[in-house]
Amino acid sequence: MAAGKKAPRITALVAGNWKMNGLKASRKEVSGLARRLAKAERVGCDVLVCPPATLISLLKEEAKGSKIAIGGQDCHANASGAHTGDISAEMLKDAGAGFVIVGHSERRADHGETDATVRAKAEAAHRAGLVAIVCVGETEQQRDAGETLKVIGGQLAGSLTDAATAKTTVVAYEPVWAIGTGRTPTADDVAKVHAAIRETLVGRFGEEGAAMRILYGGSVKPSNAAELMAVPNVNGALVGGASLKAEDFFGIISAYI
């Protein structure tokens, strides 16, 4: 981005990651959220729900006519093939998804996904016409060793495709060290990391990097959403457990209402 040029206006995104939760009865949470959003005079952010793949088609239909987009939680790098149990980006698109999360900390930890794996999945998402939400974040050990920015910089370099644009790519920062440890990042902690991510994105992608959305994904709740969403370079949230209930998720979205 040229010196002195105004930063672009970025529409925030509040994304709910349901993880391995939800059955057909969970459609009532999406309809309940849609009703709440319809009653709001103004919703200043995009809203996304990423359910298990079994529910994408159902929830896409449930969200029809509302302000809610539907996404997937993971995809295979290949479009098709002998990959039992996997789902391609094309399949997610066909089911009604518009986004897909790749490189979530749980995928990196539980399935050994490397930056190269995440990059291949992001490329697959772009190939299929999906927006890739690329997750990065440091562990407790890495944070305590003072390696936060080094780790995240490496993940961004290895996980983002060279063709990434603000329309095709979202970055989500997850402080893995804050999950289940009782340790909570301060607004200053979040601001420092997001500023570093923005600098890295601008350095690599220029104006596109300046316009990319950077989500915060560390235990966002209705009680702390307004403070966290007000942090510079925080362009929304990646929400876990609090997105499972319409009332709680709407409480977070309300930071933009």
To the query of whether residue 199 is one of the catalytic residues in this protein, the response is no
pLDDT tens track of the chain, all 257 residues? Answer: 555 567 789 999 999 999 999 999 999 999 999 999 999 999 999 999 999 999 999 999 999 999 999 999 999 999 999 999 999 999 999 999 999 999 999 999 999 999 999 999 999 999 999 999 999 999 999 999 999 999 999 999 999 999 999 999 999 999 999 876 777 789 999 999 999 999 999 999 999 999 999 999 988 999 999 999 999 999 999 999 999 999 999 999 999 99
Q: Which of 74, 67, 49 is nearest to 59 (CA)?
A: 49
Residue 2 confidence (pLDDT): 53
Strand partners, 135: 172
Task: Give 148: exposed, middle or buried? Use CB within 10 Å, 0-12, 13-18, 19+.
Answer: buried
To the query of whether residue 174 is one of the catalytic residues in this protein, the response is yes
Q: Which of 16, 30, 123 is nearest to 72 (CA)?
A: 16
* Among 76, 104, 126, 194, the one annotated catalytic: 104
Residue 3 confidence (pLDDT): 53
Tokens standing for residue 70: 């539907």
Domains (range + CATH), the chain: 12-19+27-256 (3.20.20.70)
* Among 126, 174, 194, 208, the one annotated catalytic: 174
Torsion angle in degrees (nearest 10) through CA of 62, 65, 68, 73:
50
